[in-house]
Amino acid sequence: MKKLSARRRHPLAAVVVLLLALAATGGLYATLAPASQAKADDTAQSLAIDEGKKLYSVGCATCHGTGGQGSSDGPSLVGVGAAAVDFQVGTGRMPAQQPGAQIPRKKVIYTQAQIDQLAAYIASLGAGPSIPTKAEYGPDGADIAKGGELFRTNCAQCHNFTGKGGALTHGKFAPSLEGVAPKHIYEAMQTGPQNMPSFPDTTLTEQNKKDIIAYLNAVNGGNTESPGGLELGGLGPVSEGLFAWIFGLGALIAVAVWVAARTAKAKKS
């Protein structure tokens, strides 16, 4: 100890201490940090981002700008998150065919792998909601009735009681939710695409969203039964009234014409 304390005023002492400290922190970091895992993911991630950027430059940059900063033709994509990309591209809305009141759903032109790459690139521009997992939107542990109540409170005023869709101002519309994948419904609630308000987890919790999806699946899914017969679009009294006039009264008038045409013959006695 004497030797050490004697040299503590050596001109190189500070350098030695610094080196020791650096080595210690470096060593500790090397042992404690999950280095190898992070390294491998990083490569795949950056690869996806690179590929996504290429796809982006071809398909999206015209309107959204070369760096996703947006232009007069399209909004900025910084911070919209992977979920927004997965929804817009995954439902075929993006790339848009033409500008208009609202970009409609159409044929999807990218593969899911390409969509994921695009999503990775957009996510790298700024933090935003990520693509939900099956555990988040799946039917397990969902309360259908609660979902119905939430749907009527938050969604029905635009999308109708069971998600048949409805009109908004100036040619905009709330689309029908029939046949929309649960993942996309979740992402739409999360990100609020186009004219829809967003319902982040602070407004509608993960469980709430799961309930709503389960409700929609129950009342507007592939296996939904209509106990009363033909649904007539599920649009309420307008289509019912039309049906009553055309088929109800129409049939009755046809019957009346038929009855009136068959009259008794006067008998000659």
- Report the residue number, 34 or 171, with the smaller CB distance to other proteins: 171
The span from the CA of 225 to the CA of 231, in Å, is 9
CA angle, 100 then 112 then 222, to 5°: 75
The residues that bridge with 207 in the sheet, in sequence order, are none
Residue 255: partners with Cβ closer than 8 Å, 6 or more residues away:
none
- Report the residue number, 34 or 229, with the smaller CB distance to other proteins: 229
**Residue 103 burial (CB count, 10 A):** 18
Minimum distance, C-beta of residue 68 to other proteins, in the bound complex (Å):
31
- Report the residue number, 63 or 235, with the smaller CB distance to other proteins: 235
- Report the residue number, 32 or 264, with the smaller CB distance to other proteins: 264
**Contact set with other proteins (CB under 8 A):** 101, 144-146, 148-149, 152-153, 156-162, 164-171, 173-174, 215, 218-219, 226-232, 234-245, 247-249, 251-253, 255-257, 259-261, 263-264
Write out the DSSP string of 192-216. --TTSPP--TTTS-HHHHHHHHHHH
Instruction: Kindly give the residue spans of alpha helices, DSSP state H, lying in 12-66.
Output: 13-32, 35-59, 61-64
- Report the residue number, 27 or 100, with the smaller CB distance to other proteins: 100
